[in-house]
């Protein structure tokens, strides 16, 4: 797609009902993101997400998806020890239907990316703001500001690409830096809060669809699905309370 100049469209999905809708809508990549922690599991970060939780979500998304590439996040604590740990974790996600895995970090992950790739598991990298390192990064901050930091990001992406990564997410990176990284990257870049010159874009589906009032500045709401769902639930409640639901067409005769 990058060679053809076609933008890569990626959204998160965490369950079958959502994955089916996003897949049929023509999304290229469905990411079973560890943002499931914030969106679906009620955690206040991605750090508590377990591999077992990712396995359930990945199996659900993979079963419902016919067209899109399914990429599953390796959650915090399941790959940082090195290639052996990463391979054991990634295998569990591939066994339930992931076509590829994603992991966070720069050149320090190159050996791990190489090991997974050697094992036949495609790897998507993730640099810039990496939410699993929020404590080390000191909060939700744009990454790659300044010439040194930008150079470091270019080198990270090149090392990850040489190790075999097939794509890289750039999160919260200044627009000109993301453009330069994209230009020098051996593999496609997929941006979130990284401007329009990446090879693709990713959003958390609930931000994209307007499920909640608040969304990060880099997201846009392409629908008001939260409002629509709330209205549907309100209409159901009213119909039950007034006795207009169920009607004869909804019940069974003797």
Catalytic positions, written as ranges: 171
204 interacts with ligand KIV by CB under 6 A: yes
Q: Could you say whether residue 54 binds ligand KIV (CB under 6 A)?
A: no
String of DSSP letters for the chain: -TTTTPPEEEEE--SHHHHHHHHHTT-SEEEE-TTHHHHTS--SSSTT--HHHHHHHHHHHHHH-SSSEEEEEPPTTSSTT-HHHHHHHHHHHHHTT-SEEE--BSGGGHHHHHHHHHTT--EEEEEES-GGGHHHHTSS-----SHHHHHHHHHHHHHHHHTT-SEEEEES--HHHHHHHHHH-SS-EEEESS-S-SSEEEE-HHHHTT-SS---TT---S--HHHHHHHHHHHHHHHHHHT-SS-GGGS---
* 58 is a contact residue toward ligand KIV (CB under 6 A): no
Stretch that binds ligand KIV, among 29-37, 53-61, 93-101, 147-155 (CB under 6 A): 29-37
Residue that has been written with the tokens 């990270």 in this structure? 156
Is there a contact between 18 and 36 (Cβ–Cβ < 8 Å)? no
Q: Is 34 in the site for ligand KIV (CB under 6 A)?
A: yes
202 belongs to the binding site for ligand KIV (CB under 6 A): yes
Mask of contacts with ligand KIV, 3-22, x by CB under 6 A? Answer: ---------x----------
156 binds, among ligand KIV, Na ion, none (CB under 5 to 8 A by kind): none
Q: Does 23 bind Na ion (CB under 5 A)?
A: no
Q: What residues numbered 72-131 form the site for ligand KIV, per CB under 6 A?
A: 73
CB closer to Na ion, 131 vs 180? 131
Q: Is 249 annotated as a binding residue?
A: no
The answer to whether 53 contacts Na ion (rule: CB under 5 A) is no
Question: Which one of 31-39, 109-117, 176-184, 226-234 is the stretch in contact with ligand KIV (CB under 6 A)?
Answer: 31-39
In the complex with ligand KIV, which residue's Cβ is closer, 147 or 205?
205
User: Does 34 belong to an annotated binding site?
Assistant: yes
Which residues in this chain contact Na ion in the complex, by CB under 5 A? 33-34, 73
Which residues in this chain contact ligand KIV in the complex, by CB under 6 A? 12, 31, 33-35, 73, 169, 192, 202, 204
């Amino acid at each position: 797609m990058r060679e053809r100049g076609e933008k890569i469209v990626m959204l998160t999905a965490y369950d079958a009902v959502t994955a089916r809708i996003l897949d049929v809508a023509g999304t290229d990549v469905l990411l079973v993101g560890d943002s499931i922690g914030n969106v679906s599991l009620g955690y206040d970060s991605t750090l508590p997400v377990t591999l077992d939780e990712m396995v359930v979500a990945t199996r659900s998304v993979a079963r419902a998806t016919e067209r899109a590439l399914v990429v599953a996040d390796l959650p915090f604590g399941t790959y940082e020890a090195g290639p052996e740990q990463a391979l054991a974790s990634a295998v569990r996600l591939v066994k339930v239907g992931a076509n590829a895995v994603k992991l966070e970090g720069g050149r320090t992950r190159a050996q791990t990316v190489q090991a997974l790739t050697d094992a036949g598991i495609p790897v998507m990298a993730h640099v810039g703001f990496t939410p699993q390192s929020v404590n080390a990064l000191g909060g939700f901050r744009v990454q790659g500001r300044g010439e040194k930091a930008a150079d470091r990001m270019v080198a990270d992406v090149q090392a990850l690409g040489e190790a075999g990564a097939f794509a890289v997410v750039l999160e919260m990176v200044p627009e000109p830096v993301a453009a330069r990284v994209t230009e020098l990257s051996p593999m496609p870049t997929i941006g979130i809060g990284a401007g329009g010159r990446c090879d693709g874009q990713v959003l958390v589906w609930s931000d994209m669809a307007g499920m909640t009032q608040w969304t990060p500045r880099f997201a846009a709401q392409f629908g008001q699905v939260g409002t629509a769902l709330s209205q549907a639930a309100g209409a159901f409640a009213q119909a039950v309370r007034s006795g207009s639901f169920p009607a004869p067409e909804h019940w069974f005769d003797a």
